[in-house]
Structure 1
Amino acid sequence: MVDLDGCERTDGALAALSAAEHVVLGRAQAGRLLGQDPADAAVAYGTYVVETDGARGWRLHTPGGETGAGAALPVRARDATGAGDCFVGCYLAELERGARPLDAARFASVAAGLSCTRVGARAGQPGRAEVAAALAGPPPR
């Protein structure tokens, strides 16, 4: 898996697409770096491409041409520092636990949203049980 946060060069992004099974990048980055629609890139490179877009949610594009999307968890954000890293870490952890990519992205999105409700990148990270509870019930405010 490759997190393209901080990547500034198209050749680097395309190399990541060639090498990784999963690539996560921001929506604005995708437009600058990929040179094609992220859904087309997922198919062309045979990788899962996850576009994150902060409070606007996320999209997952599969190597088979399917696209899934999800809304961000509606929260009163106190500090978004580390939310992207939380998303990437939780997405990867859920994949490692055997989750399907779409389910991993849903879980990661909720975790990232919860992380924004607290101050601090590390202190704001929710535990797995907290994320599972938020997935199962009404979203916290």
Structure 2
Amino acid sequence: MNDKARIYKEIGRRLKSAREKAGLTQMQVAKLLGMAREVVSYYENGTREIGIDDILRFANLYGTDPRCFMPETEVGEIETPNLSMAFRAKQIAEGDLPIIAEAQRLLNNLYELTVLLEGEKPSGHKVPRPTKST
């Protein structure tokens, strides 16, 4: 297996792990992202190259930093907030999934804005503050 194939295999492994952690099926992910279930499978198996646009879409859906899918990033190296949502319903209807995905995206954006405005992550790692233009 060449280096390129190994990279896509590792990205796929990480995509699958994030999907399973989110408690979603390939079919649910495919519907939410507007792609065929087979494409999700190809990405997870590393048999199809994935572009940055799709990596960003998966990251938003799963509530994680897109760098977490990159092989050069050590697992656990990037601190991602625990933004998972709790559901009290016994079953989530298929029609609820787009709303849940959008809520997850909004929650991620709120977290990132908070980090930028406060100048540090909750763990205490400093983040450069944006400069105010006068």
For the superposition of Structure 1 and Structure 2, which TM-score range results when normalised by the shorter chain? 0.3 to 0.5
Normalised by the size of structure 1, how large is the TM-score?
0.33
Q: Which has the higher helix share?
A: 2
Q: Which has the higher contact order (CA 8 A, sep 6+)?
A: 2
Q: Which has the higher strand share?
A: 1
Q: Which has the larger radius of gyration?
A: 2
